[in-house]
Amino acid sequence: MTASDRTGGPASGRSPDMGGPGRVRIEIAFRQRVPGGEDIDFDAKILAISAAAEMAGMHPQTLRQYDRLGLVEPARTPGGGRRYSARDVLRLREIQRLSQDEGVNLAGIKRIMDLEREVHAVRAEAAARIEGLAEELRRARAQLAELRAVAGPFGRSTDIVLWRGDQ
> Which sequence spans correspond to the domains of the chain?
40-104, 106-151
What are the phi and psi torsion angles at 76 (to 5°)? -120, 140
Output the pTM of the full model. 0.58
Q: Which pLDDT tens digit goes with each residue over 98-119? A: 999 999 999 999 999 999 999 9
Q: What is the pLDDT of residue 43?
A: 82
**Which amino acid makes up residue 152?**
G
Query: What is the crossing angle of helices 60-69 and 86-100, to 10°?
Result: 90
% residues pLDDT > 90 (the chain): 60
pLDDT at 76 over 90: yes
* More confidently predicted of 71 and 10: 71
Per CATH, the number for 40-104 is 1.10.1660.10
Q: Helix %, strand %, coil % for the chain, to 5?
A: 55, 5, 40
Calculate the alpha carbon distances from 64 to 1, 71, 97, 139 in Å: 23, 10, 18, 53
| Alpha-carbon span 54 to 149, nearest angstrom | 67
Cβ contact 55:88 at 8 Å: no
Q: pLDDT by residue (tens digit) across 136-146? A: 999 999 999 99
Distance (Å, rounded) from C-alpha 108 to C-alpha 166? 83
